[in-house]
Structure 1
């Protein structure tokens, strides 16, 4: 896999003529409790913010904007019994939308996992606290997203910056060769 495709939606009205400026990432109390996990997520988002033209602030008080980030990864396990056609055909024929399996004899039946992954960020003006830009990127995969893949999802979320495109649309981001 050398690219990540995400469904992206962006919202807000970035002020015309305002450059991206400096940023600081703000942690919510729940994120402070997961320090190492949050550090990894912030590193992935930081790279995407810098590619969008933002610069890290030397301290929170001097930042032009405050960024809040988040990520969600949900694993769903499917079994043949989740498919009602499995029972009609007997044996362990089974299918899921987009996947068709040949008949199998014996057990154990085949299991399959799917990961629903989403990243999001909110950019607020530091002085007024007003929200300026919100972006979300999500995808479904048969494997859990690596740190590089989450970074690519943040890149996809900021691909349209500073324009807001609220209609969900697909964005593909190539992974760096060492990230594969």
Structure 2
């Protein structure tokens, strides 16, 4: 569950027009060509309450915590995949899942994620899925551009939220909380979650105060 103190990212202007969207596509095609990466931009907020301070130095050992609902069926498989992504992000920071030959875990880590699939972007009208659309053309030079024609098809839009908590394994006290939010049309779930986790753990374990905008490049 997202913390009440979390400020959701500001919605994009609803005054966007279809012409602006087409202009963005032209710019992407004209300047990027066959782009090898795309950006996953996240709004991040992190809170550190290490007790006692300062933040513990690496290496540190932890175990994952789960809610009962995350231990059965498809939810358990999805949670396992998410925890593996979190493990990969924490390992370079010197935080490791405790094994049988390791010291007793000092921390418990809980990671949660949710996705809301919308039929179209918040600033678009359902009617945009009908009527004249746009099709690709090419100049004599070979450069691609978009022009009116064809039928526009509504493109789904995704709102993703992610949180990661670190608790003291002995007392259960939350000593670190970080949250990331990303909205967009990309649906490459594992890579997007990996990028959001990378953004959420930026500057761990001593993050700056306030909300931050962090963009991560993801290979296509």
2: CA distance, partners of 1:85 / 1:111? 9
- How does the TM-score come out when normalised to structure 1? 0.76
Q: Does 1:13 align with 2:55?
A: no
Name the SS for the 1:62 alignment partner: coil
What aligned pairs does 1:1-40 form with structure 2 within 5 A after superposition? 1-14=37-50, 15-20=53-58, 21-33=60-72, 34-40=75-81
Deviation at 1:53, TM superposition (A): 2.3
1: CA distance, partners of 2:204 / 2:217? 18
Q: Does 1:74 align with 2:113?
A: no
Partner of 1:140: 183
1: CA distance, partners of 2:96 / 2:125? 50
> CA 1:9 to 1:123, structure 2 compared with 1: closer, same or farther past 3 Å?
same
1: CA distance, partners of 2:55 / 2:132? 61
Unaligned runs of 5+ in 1: 94-100
Deviation at 1:18, TM superposition (A): 1.8
- Answer 1 or 2: higher relative contact order, Cα 8 Å, separation at least 6: 1
Partner of 2:95: 54
Deviation at 1:61, TM superposition (A): 8.5
State whether residues 117 and 145 of structure 1, in contact with CA within 8 Å, keep that contact through their aligned partners in structure 2. no
> CA 1:53 to 1:3, structure 2 compared with 1: closer, same or farther past 3 Å?
farther
Name the SS for the 1:39 alignment partner: helix
Name the SS for the 1:155 alignment partner: helix
Partner of 1:116: 159
1:63 to 101, 105, 110: 105
Name the SS for the 2:165 alignment partner: strand
| Structure 1 vs Structure 2 CA RMSD | 3.0
- How does the TM-score come out when normalised to structure 2? 0.64
Unaligned runs of 5+ in 2: 1-36, 134-145
Partner of 1:96: none
Partner of 2:3: none
Partner of 1:173: 216
Name the SS for the 1:160 alignment partner: coil
2: CA distance, partners of 1:78 / 1:112? 6
